Amino acid sequence: MIEIIASSLSDTHQTAESVAEIVKSGDLILLVGDLGAGKTAFMQGFGASLGVKEAITSPTFTLARTYQGTLEIHHLDVYRIDQIEEVRDLALPELFEGNSVTLIEWGDQIISALPKDHLEISFEYGEADSARVITISANGSSWNSRMPDLIQKLEIKGLSKC
């Protein structure tokens, strides 16, 4: 597990860039945290790092958006899903195929329907208004094997760890 103090939006974007640098086709990333804690801001930095040119917004009402960068990026928001049965309508298995990566805001709410191998990124409010505590947890062998590389990339960017 890695904990980072992001003192600004730029730090959140740099954290996202570090994750984007190690992401592989077929990866799943869960973005977890309260409303306004930084999930969509992270997604914006992540998409920009992978070459997405269009504006990235939260898909709260559409449930899913797809962006094209060096990888296709599926961005889901399952905040409004009330029952796990509704997840079937999202066709999740198909999203993990092909040359793409999937990020799911509020993904912890549907964890039982997701692959065990994923990266979970949690956002909490920090002491200052713009500060966030970002916790990154690897689940599964694929992500666990990449954590040392991620730590190195974060250190190079000078992101402070708790």
Residue ranges per structural domain of the chain: 2-156
Q: How much of the chain exceeds pLDDT 70, in percent?
A: 86
64-86: per-residue pLDDT in tens? 888 999 999 999 888 766 555 55
DSSP structure class, residue 148: H
Residue 111 pLDDT class (50, 70, 90 cuts):
confident
Q: What is the pLDDT of residue 145?
A: 96
C-alpha atoms less than 13 angstroms from C-alpha of 121 in its C-beta half-sphere: 29
Is 90's pLDDT higher than 90?
A: no
pLDDT at 109: 81
Q: In the predicted model, what is the mean pLDDT of residues 147-156?
A: 93
CB atoms within 10 A of CB 92: 19
Name the nearest CA neighbour of 7 among 137, 121, 151, 161: 161
Longest dimension (CA), the chain: 43
CATH superfamily, with its number, for domain 2-156: P-loop containing nucleotide triphosphate hydrolases (3.40.50.300)
pLDDT confidence of 112, banded at 50, 70, 90? confident
Q: When comparing pLDDT for 115 and 14, which is higher?
A: 14
Is residue 62 pLDDT above 70, yes or no? no
User: What percentage of the chain exceeds 90 in pLDDT?
Assistant: 59
Inter-residue contact 39 to 123 (CB < 8 Å): yes
pTM: predicted TM-score of the whole model, two decimal places: 0.89
Q: What is the predicted pLDDT for the residue at 130?
A: 85
Of 2, 15, 19, 8, nearest to 157 by C-alpha is 15
Q: What is the mean pLDDT of residues 38-57?
A: 94
Q: Is the pLDDT of residue 61 over 80?
A: no
Give the model's confidence band at 95: pLDDT under 50 very low, under 70 low, under 90 confident, else very high: low
* CA dist., res. 3 & res. 91, Å (int): 32
